Structure 1
Amino acid sequence: MRLLLGLSCLLAACLAQKPHHCISPPLMSGELTVSTQNEKLFVFAKYLYDALGQKIRLMELVTYDNKTFTFDGLLLFREGIMYEIHYDNKTCKKLPLKADFHPMAIPKDASLLGQAILGSSSGPGQGLLVNTWTGELPENGEKYMSTFTEFGCIPVSSVVHTKDYGWMVSSLFNNIIGITNPNLLYPPSFCMDKELDIEEEPVDFHSFFQKMR
């Protein structure tokens, strides 16, 4: 009985703690979707995220202006390079990347909007405790609202108001901590000898991960 009472008090103390700014695990993989208010863009993607090596791999199915195509990109932020990979004909483009790496995290200046349980609090395992934060991106003043889990600091969703698309909604799911196939964070063999296309405009990368900060 004392043990049960002690566990109950511990749980109550955890739930009573004020949500805090946090940083997501440095190695993650999973799936995500992105959709926009004006219905011009919809993305389904598998992702790999490596904050230690500052690498992101996105394997996407994209619908834009009623046209559907695939995109497979490896972004190497330290090197300032993006590989656009085409496994169907074993070709790739090596492009300059114009972006700084930002770890997935709750910005220090974000304001807590509230805490909620996704699902149900009626029984064990029926709900997920999350915190929702709001603020403005410093580079352009775009308003955002991001939701992370209370335990583990796993990103759940992000809503950003953009000039071109209106509200852009991103959702992450099937997330795991770690990367099951690290080889996907390196260029395939047929890309290794590819020269950097310096005539191309640098890729100005603004992915979901750039918004979750």
Structure 2
Amino acid sequence: MQATYWITLAMCLAPALCFAQKPRRCRSPPVYTGGMTVGTQNEKLWAFGMYAYDGINQRIHFGEMGTYDNKSFTYNALMLYNEEVLYEINHKDKTCVKKALKSDFHPMEVPKGADFVSQVVLGTSSGPGQGLLVNNWWGDMPDKSGNYMFSVTEFGCLPVSALVKTKNFGWMTVSYYNNILGADPNVFIPPPFCKDAKLEVGEKVDFFSIFQ
């Protein structure tokens, strides 16, 4: 009887102990696609679009449309970090701008210097399938220019949102949705009209500079 008591007690406590553990830093799936929205504190920039992420070959492709200073725009960018090249693509005019890209590719993951903030449920945990368990992390930007808050799902480590302090816009918010594992490899290949594009001479750009 005493043995049964302790076994039963251990079974009851195990789930509570598991959920009480502090979430660990994680890395998102190596390849996936999804939608995203971007907004800024000073209300100068608002955009939405689609993106494709390939952490294995260090490639990111996204296309978006939105407004900047009350003027509408469309933007399509292909970042090939292994080649240190960024393509700004205009499918309508069939033009392509080729720029030098900084090679410091950062995988989609919770950064090493991030501190765990909280674990929350988006929606509700009162019913099955009605909520999403999310972990929130906080840290400093690599260049010490500001702070960020990054939210990922507890299961799968998929991005949910990011809040980043920028020099030109103040706080920038990014929301991710409709993530699908895998990606069409063709989205990472520059279109034929980019073949003759010449590399622009100038300072190398990075992921955040394309929003500025």
Q: TM-score, normalised by structure 1?
A: 0.87
Q: What is the alpha-carbon distance in structure 1 between the residues aligned to residue 198 and residue 12 of structure 2?
A: 61
What is aligned with 1:156?
160
Residue 42 of structure 2: which of 7, 14, 38 is its match? 38
**Cα deviation, residue 17, structure 1:** 3.2
| Larger gyration radius, structure 1 or structure 2 | 2
What is aligned with 2:100?
96
Change (3 A) 1:122 1:87: same
What is aligned with 1:111?
115
Q: TM-score, normalised by structure 2?
A: 0.87
Change (3 A) 1:201 1:136: closer
What is aligned with 1:205?
207
Structure 2: 5+ residue stretches without partners: 1-9
- Tell me if the contact between 1:99 and 1:205 (Cα under 8 Å) persists in the aligned partners: no
Deviations along 1:37-88, one digit per CA (max 9) or x if unpaired, are: 1101111120000011111101010311011110111111111111111111
Q: What is the alpha-carbon distance in structure 2 between the residues aligned to residue 10 and residue 62 of structure 1?
A: 49
Q: What is the alpha-carbon distance in structure 2 between the residues aligned to residue 201 and residue 62 of structure 1?
A: 26
The alignment partner of 2:101 has SS state of strand
Deviations along 1:167-205, one digit per CA (max 9) or x if unpaired, are: 1111000111111x21011111221233323x3443243
**Cα deviation, residue 149, structure 1:** 0.6
- Tell me if the contact between 2:145 and 2:167 (Cα under 8 Å) persists in the aligned partners: no
Summarize the alignment of residues 106-185 of structure 1 with structure 2, pairs less than 5 Å apart: 106-179=110-183, 181-185=184-188
Q: What is the alpha-carbon distance in structure 1 between the residues aligned to residue 167 and residue 98 of structure 2?
A: 29
Moved more, 7-16 or 29-38: 7-16
What is aligned with 2:194?
191
Aligned length: 202
The alignment partner of 1:159 has SS state of strand
**Cα deviation, residue 8, structure 1:** 8.0
What is aligned with 1:211?
none
Q: Which amino acid aligns with 1:68?
A: S
Q: Which amino acid aligns with 1:202?
A: K
Q: Which amino acid aligns with 1:203?
A: V
Structure 1: 5+ residue stretches without partners: 1-5, 209-213
Q: What is the alpha-carbon distance in structure 1 between the residues aligned to residue 209 and residue 24 of structure 2?
A: 25
Q: Which amino acid aligns with 1:147?
A: S
Percent identity (aligned):
52
- Tell me if the contact between 2:162 and 2:173 (Cα under 8 Å) persists in the aligned partners: yes
Deviations along 1:117-142, one digit per CA (max 9) or x if unpaired, are: 11000111000111101111131241
Q: What is the alpha-carbon distance in structure 2 between the residues aligned to residue 7 and residue 154 of structure 1?
A: 30
